[in-house]
Amino acid sequence: MPSTPTESSHDEKRQEDAVDIDGLQPVDSAAEQRLVRKLDMRLLPCLALAYLLGFIDRANAGNAKVAGLVSELSLGNWGFNIGTCLYYVTFIVLQLPAVMLVRKFGNRLVPVAVIVFGIINIGTGFIHNRSGFYAVKSLLGIAEAFVLPGNSYIITQFYKRSEYSVRIGFFIFSGGYLSGAFGGLLASGFLHIAPMGPVHTWRHIFVWEGLLTVGIGILLVFLYPSIPETTTMLTEEERKLTSLRITVPHASQFPSWVQIKEVVFNPIVLASSWFYIIDNVTVTGMSVFTPTILALNYPHASAIRIQLLSVPPNICAWVFSITLIYLAMRYKMHAAAALVGVILTIIGYGTWVATDATYIKTRYACLFLNTMGGCYGPIVLAWTVSNARGDSARALTGAVIPGAGAIGSIIASWSYFPTDAKTGYHIGNTLNVSLAVVVAIGIAALWLFEFRYNKRKEAEFKYRL
């Protein structure tokens, strides 16, 4: 992919060029490998854990829905969808300011946000009406807006461009898919707990998961690193080596409006944002409504069994997605990897639409394909961020694409609703397969553009020689 957003600040460009010259100093390859391994073992688990907690806390409403949340709060046919929609509205609005605040005030703002949305989750266990549900979902979107773009930005502080893809994919995939697995397991366990005063049935899910989130969030405050130049996670020698490896110095100033405009309206970022929007229609539909879909597929199953049935598709998708993004990074074939995910989505939703309720096992298999297929969005994100030039551009790109992608989550909030259950959620499934076809065409076109662009640049380079 051609280099996406460039920095408009001449001072920062000169600074970047200076660092590139320094980067020519010889680096001990063995020491570099040890550093990368240490970062992978020390940094990535923290990022993945923060995102895992965020995904669990946003998706647990779907687990609570099949355990009585809708009827007890009198949400009616549309209240659950409205609450889910409100979450993503605030999530979208706060993405860009959130990453800029992380850039200004430090990386530990991310685990502080984890503590905050854990507290909000605890409070959700004590709401009693529709207004309370809307309020906590809106607040949750504000708090969780810091995690994904903040983590993506932290990745760019410690790793080289060629290493971004698999690392960004690791914490997104681990958080997203493992949350579906752990969320189902946790929900099934919490539903076994006897009533404790006002806390009972679905309320246990929010309260106990919230307490777990707050506890881990406090731990993450001490584990999250500061910037590479000062972090105690690394030794002095490792900090120097990190600075040699990274081509752009990290500053705390906010980018100019010109820089923001260049990133937001860059054609590659716009295309990637569109792909991410569509992917989020699928991912949100699967994360929030999988228990609802399973309840339709298994009408006589208990709420606990429904939670357990949601675990295998997510475990399978996690293994598949980590493998796929590693291959994408290893062979520099992000477009091909993304297309694999889109094709699985088309097959999964297309098969669901083509079958009826008597094909229970076939439709359950479709959940595996649909969940695995959702991996193409983070691959596109990693692809674009790794090609952005400059610290500000990478930070902004890592916020703009997921922020815009949340629009897809708003669409997904309205793609599965009770009045369409009798058709097997035909509207939601048809929407997903149709949008996936559009993405397949778009990624193929961008892939062709990249190929022709690189060929032209290669020819120009040879001509200069």
For residue 465, how many other CB atoms are within 10 A of its CB? 4
The pLDDT tens digits for 10-47 are: 444 434 443 443 344 556 788 889 999 999 999 999 99
CA 92 – CA 328 distance, rounded (Å): 28
What is the DSSP secondary-structure string of 228-279?
TTT-TTS-HHHHHHHHHH-SS----SPPPHHHHHHHHT-HHHHHHHHHHHHH
Mean pLDDT value of segment 238-254: 70
Asked if residue 345 is part of any domain, the answer here is yes
Letter string b/e over residues 218-239, b meaning 16 or more CB atoms within 10 A of that residue's CB: eebeebbbebbeebebbeeebb
Mean pLDDT value of segment 56-75: 91
By residue count, the chain amounts to: 465
Of 414 and 252, the one with more pLDDT: 414
CA 48 – CA 258 distance, rounded (Å): 32
The pLDDT tens digits for 372-392 are: 998 898 888 878 877 777 666
Q: Which amino acid, residue 360?
A: I
Asked if residue 425 is part of any domain, the answer here is yes
- Per the structure, the count of domains in the chain is 1
What is the DSSP secondary-structure string of 58-114?
HHHHHHHHTTTHHHHTT-TTTHHHHHHHHHHHHHHHHHHHHHHHHHHH-TTHHHHHH
Mean pLDDT value of segment 414-441: 92
CATH number at residue 136: 1.20.1250.20
- Read off the pLDDT band of 3 (50, 70, 90): low
Asked if residue 270 is part of any domain, the answer here is yes
The closest alpha carbon to 121, from 66, 54, 76, belongs to 54
CA 300 – CA 239 distance, rounded (Å): 58
φ, ψ dihedrals at 389, nearest 5°: -105, 125
Asked if residue 280 is part of any domain, the answer here is yes
- Boundaries of domain holding 207: 25-246+256-464
What is the DSSP secondary-structure string of 154-211?
HHHHHS-HHHHHHHHHHHHHHHHHHHHHHHHHHHHHHTTSPPBTTB-THHHHHHHHHH
Asked if residue 5 is part of any domain, the answer here is no
Write down the pLDDT at residue 123: 97
**Per-residue pLDDT for 8 more than 60?**
no
Write down the pLDDT at residue 13: 42
Asked if residue 264 is part of any domain, the answer here is yes
Asked if residue 269 is part of any domain, the answer here is yes
Asked if residue 20 is part of any domain, the answer here is no
Q: Which two tokens stand for residue 465?
A: 């020689």
